[in-house]
Amino acid sequence: MSTPRGIWKWADRLGNAPDESHRLTLGEGDTPLLRSRRIGPEAGLPRLYFKLESANPTGSYKDRFAAAAVSHILARGKTNCLATSSGNTGAALAAACAVAGIPCHLAIVEPAPRGKLNQMLAYGATLYRIRGFGIDPAITSATFARLRQLGRDPARSLEVSAFTVSPDGMQGVETLAYELDATLDSRIDHVFLPAGGGGLCLAVARGFEKCAASPAVHCVQPEGNDTIAGPLREGRDHGRRVDPCTTAISGLQVPNLLDANAVIAAARASGGNGHLVPDDFIFEIQRRLAREEGIYSEPAGAVALAGALRAAAAGEVDRDAIIVCPITGSGFKDAASIEAMVGRDGSPLVELDDLEAALS
């Protein structure tokens, strides 16, 4: 018998996992866990770790979702994947559908970066970029409603990276918690996670319920999409819509409530809190990850660390605590943010004879 690969090494924890003949993998999971060499120690956090989910095959943690979701599509005999995405979900599903040999149709948020669109197209997906989707909550709600209607077709499977829509796929994301628990010998105090619709936070919180470790799970959001973090910090039980969504952080532009209420309950039960960070601070942390840790992250991938640093500065976490911040997506996902970081002319052309002088 072959050794299970990808998320399926954890099949015994994944509830109604499909039978082995329908289990698809992209080679997801088993991503590196690195101890911070500069940012953590400088912030007085000597046991700060980064989980490099950017090392997954399509460049984000969403490969865990896609492997589970498409495997369930195959097990149910569906022949068509219909999904919504701000970028990373679409890329992961498109790749998984390419492996499965089924069409992938994606309704895309209006501000999705070109690099993410190109990646989806490269895998063969068909895209429908919808005006106002991901910005206007009314249009976003109407889009989800229309997708649910279209998803009733017997041949189609609607996949959204949220427990409210795709619980089977989201079980694949729980494997991130299993890996952390195993790698750190169940010694984790805090996990900070970025949130758009909140699915990642909820998946990790639920994953740790099946582990020996029981860290506080924190929800971090950009200030311009405060659907969960603010209400959690304020002691509320329900999320709130934002109108309009003003953050420029791709992937976290979700003005409507998907898993929000469940995230608030799960994070609070774990001892976690909500944290809001401004876009400019997120971009600063993205730059610091590259320049100080050698980690090439998209802006959304820097959000967890931004929240952890704010919490540490406010005295909300013990300085000796073991803290994990997933880097959820690669810098290759968002070329515009990298250009803003380095400038458009970061490599001026010089003559060979002038190189020595230029170095001095």
Q: In 10 A of CB 149, how many CB atoms?
A: 10
pLDDT at position 210: 96
Poorest-confidence range of 63-67, 249-253, 289-293, 311-315? 249-253
What 8-state DSSP symbol labels residue 118?
H
Whole-number Å distance between alpha carbons of 158 and 19? 21
pLDDT at position 347: 75
- Token pair listed for 290: 């590259």
Q: Cα dist. 303→115, 118, 180 in Å?
A: 20, 24, 19
Bigger pLDDT: 266 or 255? 266
The topology (CATH level 3) of 6-60+169-341 is Rossmann fold (3.40.50)
Q: How much is the pTM? A: 0.94
Chain mean pLDDT for the chain? 94
- pLDDT, one tens digit per residue, over 287-346 is 999 999 999 999 999 999 999 999 999 999 999 999 999 999 999 999 889 999 988 666
Poorest-confidence range of 73-77, 147-151, 352-356? 352-356
- CB-CB contact of 250 with 116 (8 Å): yes
Whole-number Å distance between alpha carbons of 225 and 222? 6
In 3-state terms the chain splits into helix, strand, coil percentages (rounded to 5) of 45, 15, 40
Return the CATH number of the domain spanning residue range 62-165. 3.40.50.1100
Q: Do domains 6-60+169-341 and 62-165 have the same CATH topology?
A: yes
What's at 93, amino acid-wise?
Answer: L
Bigger pLDDT: 303 or 108? 303
The per-residue b/e assignment along 246-273, b for 16 or more CB within 10 angstroms, e otherwise, is ebbbbbbbbbbbbbbbbbbebbbebebb
- Token pair listed for 155: 């041949």
The angle formed by the CA atoms of residues 89, 244 and 167, to the nearest 5 degrees, is 30
- pLDDT, one tens digit per residue, over 183-226 is 999 999 999 999 999 999 999 999 999 999 999 999 999 999 99
Average pLDDT over residues 134-145: 88
- Domain boundaries of the chain, sorted by first residue: 6-60+169-341, 62-165
